[in-house]
Amino acid sequence: MIKVVFFAALREQLNCSELSINSDNLATVADLKNHLASKDENWQQVFANSALLSAVNHDMVSSEQAIKAGDEVAFFPPVTGG
């Protein structure tokens, strides 16, 4: 299983802060994005946003990053702290 977490505007748009997903057949962050986007129209729209950032195990990564069972994957909008 992969733990998937969402933050800020993304969390509100999806009305979801955390999910557990079976990682079989999901090799990369891009695969996971496609899988999530297939949920329904709202999820599809949210994941079509190219500005979306991803992290695996607390490190910022690109969509090509490989993922495996036990990983924590996060999706969030560009950051606005400071």
Partner 1 sequence: MTKVSNTAAANTEISIQTADFSLADEVALLERDNAIDGAVVTFTGRVRNQNEGKAVTSLTLEHYPGMTEKSLAKIIAQAKERWRIGRVKVIHRVGELFIGDQIVFVGVTSKHRQDAFAANEFIMDYLKVQAPFWKKEASTDGANWLDAKTTDENKAAKW
Residues that bind partner 1 (CB under 8 A): 5, 7-9, 12, 51, 55, 58-60, 74, 76-82
| Residue 21 β-bridge partners | 2
Distance CA 40, CA 49 (A): 15
Nearer CB in complex with partner 1: 31/72:
72
User: From the CB of 55, what's the least distance to partner 1, in Å?
Assistant: 6
Distance CA 15, CA 58 (A): 22
User: From the CB of 24, what's the least distance to partner 1, in Å?
Assistant: 26
Nearer CB in complex with partner 1: 22/49:
49
Distance CA 36, CA 59 (A): 20
User: From the CB of 53, what's the least distance to partner 1, in Å?
Assistant: 8
* Cβ proximity of 65 and 28 under 8 Å: yes
Nearer CB in complex with partner 1: 5/14:
5
| Residue 53 β-bridge partners | 76
